[in-house]
């Protein structure tokens, strides 16, 4: 049976390389950091956000490489100095952050400095309950001093009381990071048992989310109605797109097909639009895109570690949420491993034209599709 998907050509807003004063202090979302177990954090956006006067940072998932304890430790090291300085983080899970009720054994194939392959066999990805506690200080538990924090099940943050009909944790929550703006952070990670293993339903994720957690549809509509009654703007955030978008032109045919497989059905987009939510921000796709279904505008964020790198800033103007796209600024130390990569004969010539982080991301993208 052919799956009908909602698709609208992406509408690209002008990119701004600098912020006007009206954006300072606004929530800033960026996605798909994919922190490895070892990371200095120098090339990560929090420092750039602080320089722009950003106080509230929204993280739509994929904060870690594959949910390893060491990757969560690296993420904590990156955000800790900024949190200590007053920056606040609001996170939700992506498909790389947690693996359902149980841990998952992982294997990694890497390359050593001399170019020889190395396989790491004793890696582990955390379960969702473990990951929830790791990110508890970043919105998944009530932040200190907040005037609004709730889940689809009430105001009790106890993980035992935040479970869907299958008994799996739903990490969704609603909060107000700044006066006038509500953030609806939605957990669309749905797991199905496959033998002894739990499998994440990441393709068409929102199709599975509405099927497994129909209460999210009702709760979203209720949050929208209450926000309007209170004169608040409301933005929904999850890891996965709510409305299908067209793939970027740079993608080859095989990748275009893969892009389409990740998109939700048109019927799913229509149901989500009917809740009244008008702006949804997601990650997952690693490239910027925009699509619409009825009154719902879906903005897919790029990743700061993919091409083209970037993020976005959300503000409130005349009672409505607005969003501005920001290209990735100059990133120091992106080429720390240049000598190692360039030691391979086939790579030396490729690196000759790499002068900036943008050049490096373009090179990675070109080699991926070569």
Task: From first to last of the 370 residues of the chain, give the pLDDT tens digit.
Answer: 333 344 333 333 322 333 334 444 456 666 666 666 555 443 456 666 666 677 899 999 999 989 999 999 999 998 899 899 999 999 999 999 999 999 998 877 776 766 677 887 778 999 999 999 999 999 999 988 888 999 999 999 999 999 999 999 999 999 999 889 999 999 999 999 998 889 999 999 999 999 999 999 999 999 999 999 999 999 999 999 999 999 988 777 888 899 999 999 999 999 999 999 999 999 999 888 999 999 999 999 988 877 677 888 888 888 888 888 888 777 778 888 778 777 776 777 788 888 888 888 878 777 766 5
Q: How many residues does the chain have?
A: 370
Predicted pLDDT at 170: 98
Helices 215-229 + 266-273 axis angle, to 10: 30
Backbone phi and psi for residue 77, each to the nearest 5 degrees, phi listed first: -65, -35
Predicted pLDDT at 161: 97
Secondary structure E strands in the chain: 28-29, 56-59, 88-91, 104-111, 117-125, 149-150, 173-178, 181-185, 191-194, 197-200, 233-237, 279-282, 289-293, 296-300, 310-317, 320-327
Predicted pLDDT at 36: 64
Predicted pLDDT at 115: 63
pTM of the entire predicted model: 0.86
What is the rounded distance in angstroms from the CA atom of residue 187 to the CA atom of residue 206? 10
Predicted pLDDT at 30: 62
Predicted pLDDT at 331: 78
Predicted pLDDT at 114: 63
Full set of structural domains in the chain with CATH: 21-333 (3.60.21.10), 339-370 (no CATH)
């Amino acid at each position: 049976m052919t799956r009908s998907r909602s698709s609208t050509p992406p509408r690209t807003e002008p990119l701004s390389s600098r912020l006007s004063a009206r954006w300072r202090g606004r929530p800033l979302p960026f996605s798909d950091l994919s922190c490895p177990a070892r990371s200095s954090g120098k090339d990560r956006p929090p420092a750039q956000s602080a320089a722009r006067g950003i106080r509230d940072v929204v993280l739509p998932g994929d904060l870690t490489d594959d949910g390893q304890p060491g990757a969560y430790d690296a993420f904590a090291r990156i955000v800790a100095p900024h949190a200590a300085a007053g920056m606040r983080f609001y996170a939700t899970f992506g498909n790389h952050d947690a693996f359902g009720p149980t841990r998952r054994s992982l294997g990694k194939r890497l390359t050593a400095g001399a170019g020889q392959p190395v396989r790491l066999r004793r890696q582990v990805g955390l379960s969702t309950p473990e990951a929830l506690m790791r990110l508890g200080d970043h919105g998944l538990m009530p932040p200190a001093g907040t005037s609004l924090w709730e889940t689809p099940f009430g105001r009790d943050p106890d993980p035992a009381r935040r479970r869907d009909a299958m008994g799996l944790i739903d990490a969704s929550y609603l909060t107000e990071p700044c006066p006038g703006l509500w953030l609806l952070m939605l957990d669309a990670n749905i797991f199905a048992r496959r033998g002894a293993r739990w499998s994440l339903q990441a393709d068409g994720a929102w199709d599975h989310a509405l099927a497994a957690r129909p209460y999210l549809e009702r709760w979203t509509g209720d949050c929208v109605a209450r926000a309007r009654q209170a004169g608040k703007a409301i933005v929904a955030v999850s890891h996965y797109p709510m409305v299908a978008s067209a793939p970027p032109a740079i993608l080859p045919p095989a990748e275009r097909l893969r892009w389409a497989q990740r998109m939700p059905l048109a019927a799913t987009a229509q149901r989500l639009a009917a809740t009244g939510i008008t702006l949804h921000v997601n990650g997952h796709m690693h490239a910027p895109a925009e699509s619409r279904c009825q009154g719902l505008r879906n903005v897919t964020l790029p990743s700061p570690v993919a091409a083209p790198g970037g993020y976005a800033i959300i503000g409130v103007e005349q009672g409505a949420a607005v969003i501005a796209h920001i290209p990735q600024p100059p990133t120091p130390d992106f080429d720390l491993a240049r000598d190692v990569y360039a030691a391979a004969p086939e790579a030396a010539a490729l690196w000759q034209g790499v002068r900036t982080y943008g050049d490096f991301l373009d090179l990675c993208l070109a080699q991926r599709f070569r």
